[in-house]
Amino acid sequence: MPDSLRVLVVHGPNLNLLGTREPEIYGETTLPEIDDRLASEAKEWGAEVETFQSNHEGALVDRIQDASGWADGILINAGALTHTSVALRDVLAATDLPVVEVHLSNVHARESFRHHSYLSAVATGVIVGFGPDSYVLGLRGLLDSLTRG
Ligand code: CA2
C-alpha cells in the first residue's frame, strides 16, 4: 500500500484576515474554515493536507523549499505576492512539484495590476473567482492529476 498523497497548502499575506475584514470582497468564511474544508476533502481522497499561512515572503519561500522533501503537490493562494514575487515563482519551479494556483476573487475582473500572475506559468492549473470553493476545486484538480499520474 503506497503512502497517502500529501499536499502543502500555502496562504500568502493578509489571508489570515479572511472573514474578519472586507467581507464584501472576500466573503465571510475564515481561513481556519477553509483549512477544515480542505482537510475534509483530502480525507475523502485518502490524502493529507498541511496548511501554512504567512505574511512574509521569505517564510513562504522557506516552507516551499522544505516541501520538496515530503509533499506530492502544492496548492497556493499567494495573495498580493502573486502579482509581484519572482522569488515565489522561482521556488515553486525549483521544487519540481505540481502546483495549483487559486484565488478567491476573479482577479481578471478586478484592477489591471491583478491580471498578471508571476506564478501561473509554473502552475499545472489555475482556479479563480469561486470564493472558498476555488481552494476545494483546486485541491480536487491537483489530487486527480496526482492520482492519474
Ligand atoms: O482573490 C484572491 O484570492 C487574492 O489572492 C486575494 C489577495 C489579492 O491581493 C489578490 O489580488 C487576489 C488579497 C488577500 C487579502 O485578503 C484579505 C482578506 C480580508 C481582509 C483584507 C484582505
Each residue's pLDDT tens digit, 10-55: 999 999 999 999 898 889 999 999 999 999 999 999 999 999 999 9
Q: Which CATH number is 5-144 given?
A: 3.40.50.9100
**Under a CB-based contact definition with an 8 Å cutoff, are residues 20 and 83 in contact?**
no
Q: CA 79 → CA 41, 94, 122, 128, 149, distances in Å?
A: 22, 20, 16, 12, 29
Residue 134 CA to ligand 1 center (angstroms) comes to 13
For 37, half-sphere exposure in the C-beta direction (CA atoms, 13 angstrom radius) is 15
What mean pLDDT is predicted for residues 124-144?
Answer: 98
* Domain ranges for the chain: 5-144
Q: How far is 19 from 36, CA to CA, in rounded Å?
A: 14
**pLDDT score of 3 more than 80:** no
Residue 26 CA to ligand 1 center (angstroms) comes to 7
Q: How far is 31 from 44, CA to CA, in rounded Å?
A: 20
Give percent of the chain above pLDDT 90: 93
pTM for the complete prediction? 0.97
The strand ranges marked E within 36-80 are: 48-53, 73-77
Nearest CA to ligand 1 atom 5: 79
Give the ligand 1 atom nearest the CA of 103. 3
